[in-house]
A = this chain, B = another copy of it.
Amino acid sequence: MATEPRSSERRGGERVAEGTWVPGADGSGFGIEHLPYGVVRPTGEAPRVAVRIGDRALDLAVLADAGLLALPGLSASALRAPALNGFLALGRDVWSETRARLIELLDVRGPGASDVGALGERALVPLAEVEALLPVAVGDYVDFYSSLEHASNLGRIMRPGGDPVLPNWRHLPVAYHGRAGSIVVSGTPIRRPCGQRPPHAPSEVPSFGPERQLDFELELGFVTGPGLPSGARIPAAVADEHIFGFLLLNDWSAREIQRWEAQPLGPFLGKSFATSVAAWITPLEALAAHRVHGAPQDPPPLAYLHTDEPWALEIDLEVAIVPAGSRVELTLSRTNARELYWNAAQQLTHATSGGSALRAGDLFASGAISGLDPGSYGSLIELTSGGSTALQVGDGSRTFLEDGDTVIMRAVAAGGDRRPRLELGEVSGTVLAAAED
């Protein structure tokens, strides 16, 4: 009688191993069920595509050179590259085949331990010995506004006296384009921007100087492939063909600049000085067991925005701060990505509904993710009611960020009930003083 190999089973269409032979990886949040993609540069070498397993980077270019990644359509040039874009351009079938092959190679019961193991630390490099680079050369960066709680909070603060959530908000995922060239990888220091701060009274003039209300926004983004020509559209039902994976994102925000500049054309310099993203992108396939149905939308969205698939993501999110001069990390906020009103499939479908081109490596972010209670807000402007209520932070307090503060965002798809526990790549950044004039 033929039997399935005991070491694997099917779940969500994916072959799942019982564990990996890579030491320390099982249960680390970066186990064989995860395998997020990034780009690393070993000391003195060219950048290459890697997946993270435990505290190591599995170098896919080395695997390919050794003949261990011989898959149809997977070119070596896509792996020996300074960004994931070439790999993203190969599309869903190659993504899936590559992931399946990597799981096979890392499976505790498979032959990978000897095949990959024979390559030693050339293939499986300790993370401490590589530089994790910006994983994607982002073509266009779209930032949504998809959390109802965040939109409500911001509306109350930014447009006091008006309707906090505008009439269009429940009919379409509101968004704007951010600055792709200002996207940096986690760990990059963030210089406080200068800019125009609003006048105190209509008869006065604005002042130019360092932003005094520097803020973060806790967001989850996704990157796309293989790309679509202008004029095509992506029905929500096939969004999974185009969404490669998800990553944490900090949409640093300068609230004084934003408040003054953003009418009528939206945020510009208040957002475009820096956006930090994680070094590791979690493939959509790895999240299969963490996809759930979101809360019903009221009113129901128009037909083109209707989704049947479970696109809400059960991912715990957290923002922490290490205040300037301290070494103690303090949690500022905890929420969950499933709180988002508009899901990724709706975002992508809407963004392409007018026929705009989509490229491999385009980035779409959720907008700040806030929950219902104050401890779950995704930005300081919400946590401090527009700066009017200081937060106790260790021995001091904060309304907005001070120079030297480090902001750390983390995301965990919790384990249990046959779901693997995944830690998404974190996003951190330390605020530097504004440039001298």
Residues of A within 8 A of B (CB): 139-140, 142, 145, 155, 158-159, 166-168, 171-172, 174-182, 184, 191, 193-196, 198, 202, 205-208, 211, 230-231, 233, 254, 257, 260-269, 272-274, 299, 302-304, 350-351, 353-359, 362, 435
Q: Are A272 and B354 in contact (CB under 8 A)?
A: yes
Q: Are B263 and A435 in contact (CB under 8 A)?
A: no
Q: Are B354 and A273 in contact (CB under 8 A)?
A: yes
Q: Are B359 and A261 in contact (CB under 8 A)?
A: no
Known contacts A177-B178, A180-B140, A180-B180; is A355 also within 8 Å of B191 by CB?
yes
Q: Are B302 and A205 in contact (CB under 8 A)?
A: yes
Closest residue on chain B to residue A195 by CB atoms:
B354
Known contacts A262-B264, A302-B196, A302-B208; is A351 also within 8 Å of B269 by CB?
yes
State in angstroms the CA–CA spacing of A138 and B208 once bound together.
29
Q: Are B181 and A362 in contact (CB under 8 A)?
A: yes
Residues of B near A145 (CB, < 8 A) are 265
Q: Are A139 and B180 in contact (CB under 8 A)?
A: yes
Min Cβ gap A79→B in Å is 23
Known contacts A266-B262, A269-B353; is A359 also within 8 Å of B233 by CB?
no
Min Cβ gap A55→B in Å is 29
State in angstroms the CA–CA spacing of A303 and B437 once bound together.
12
State in angstroms the CA–CA spacing of A370 and B33 once bound together.
58
Contact of A356 among B205, B273, B357 (CB under 8 A): B273
15 additional A-B pairs beyond A254-B354, A269-B350, beta carbons within 8 Å, are A145-B265, A155-B264, A159-B264, A166-B263, A171-B206, A172-B260, A175-B265, A177-B177, A182-B357, A184-B230, A193-B355, A194-B355, A262-B265, A264-B266, A269-B354
Closest residue on chain B to residue A257 by CB atoms:
B354
Closest residue on chain B to residue A362 by CB atoms:
B181
Residues of B near A264 (CB, < 8 A) are 155, 158-159, 166, 174, 262-263, 266
Q: Are B356 and A299 in contact (CB under 8 A)?
A: no
State in angstroms the CA–CA spacing of A205 and B301 once bound together.
9
Closest residue on chain B to residue A269 by CB atoms:
B354
Q: Are A205 and B171 in contact (CB under 8 A)?
A: yes
State in angstroms the CA–CA spacing of A257 and B261 once bound together.
22
